[in-house]
């Protein structure tokens, strides 16, 4: 069976089951991809993001995203990329969305989260009540190294240091893990405003 036949069969089946087409009763999450620029160049990345990619969302489109988010009743705004933290208007977008009262989560490779500079991203995210989804290709360091490359991998041992940093910064942070990531989480704080979700 060819790909075209599979699509045709799928469309016929949908039409027979749902004569008016597939519709959604509710859209609860808005996912916003800020572009393909990334600090890593992972072999498993389906978008082929890397430091050499220059495609990023324009500020004009970001303003439209903020307007849409304010107008619609989304339960969550999910910001992704590339590495969304690299976008020059990332902080503006997060602050604008949070000012409109929307919950925001950022999908991140975690490698930029604990930068030692005056504009520490982890403090910014915490101050704005942003949740994190940590994207790691595997829970085993050697597998992460194999896919991301050992020269710029987030060493899994750093997770404990990062969590310790969060604990020192403010105990209201929490780390939440599922499946593969559960062994990476030595700390989970109560009354969490922000969390790191390793998947």
CB atoms within 10 A of CB 120: 16
Give the pLDDT of residue 44: 74
Q: Is residue 12 part of a domain?
A: no
Chain centroid, CA 149 distance in Å: 20
84: tokens are: 């969304």
Q: Which domain holds residue 63?
A: 28-198
- One digit per residue, the tens of pLDDT, for the chain of length 199 reads 666 666 678 888 888 888 888 787 888 999 999 999 998 887 778 888 899 999 999 999 999 999 999 989 899 999 999 999 999 999 999 999 999 999 999 998 887 775 555 567 888 888 899 988 877 777 677 777 776 665 444 443 344 444 444 444 443 333 443 333 322 332 333 333 334 444 3
**How far is 129 from 195, CA to CA, in rounded Å?**
9
How many CA atoms lie less than 13 Å away from 174 in the CB half-sphere?
Answer: 9
Q: Is residue 17 part of a domain?
A: no
Spatial contact of 175 and 185, defined as CB atoms under 8 Å apart? yes
CATH of the domain at 142: 3.20.20.70
Query: What's the pTM value of the predicted model, to 2 decimals?
Result: 0.68
Q: Is residue 14 part of a domain?
A: no
| Structural domains in the chain (count) | 1
**How far is 105 from 193, CA to CA, in rounded Å?**
11
Q: Is residue 121 part of a domain?
A: yes
């Amino acid at each position: 069976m060819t790909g075209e036949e599979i699509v045709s069969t799928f469309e016929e089946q949908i039409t027979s089951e749902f004569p008016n087409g597939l519709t959604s009763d509710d859209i609860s999450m808005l996912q916003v991809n800020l572009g393909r620029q990334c600090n890593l160049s992972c072999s498993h990345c389906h978008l082929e993001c890397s430091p050499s990619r220059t495609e990023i969302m324009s500020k004009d489109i970001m303003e439209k995203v903020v307007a849409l988010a304010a107008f619609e009743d989304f339960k969550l705004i999910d910001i992704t990329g590339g590495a969304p933290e690299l976008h020059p208007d990332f902080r503006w977008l997060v602050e604008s969305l949070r000012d409109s009262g929307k919950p925001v989560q950022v999908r991140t490779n975690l490698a930029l989260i604990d930068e030692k500079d005056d504009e520490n991203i982890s403090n910014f995210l915490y101050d704005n009540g942003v949740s994190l989804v940590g994207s790691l290709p595997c829970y085993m360091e050697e597998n992460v190294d194999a896919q991301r490359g050992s020269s710029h991998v987030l060493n899994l041992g750093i997770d404990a240091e990062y969590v310790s940093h969060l604990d020192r910064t403010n105990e209201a942070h929490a780390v939440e893990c599922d499946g593969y990531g559960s062994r990476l989480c030595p700390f989970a704080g109560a009354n969490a405003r922000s969390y790191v979700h390793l998947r």
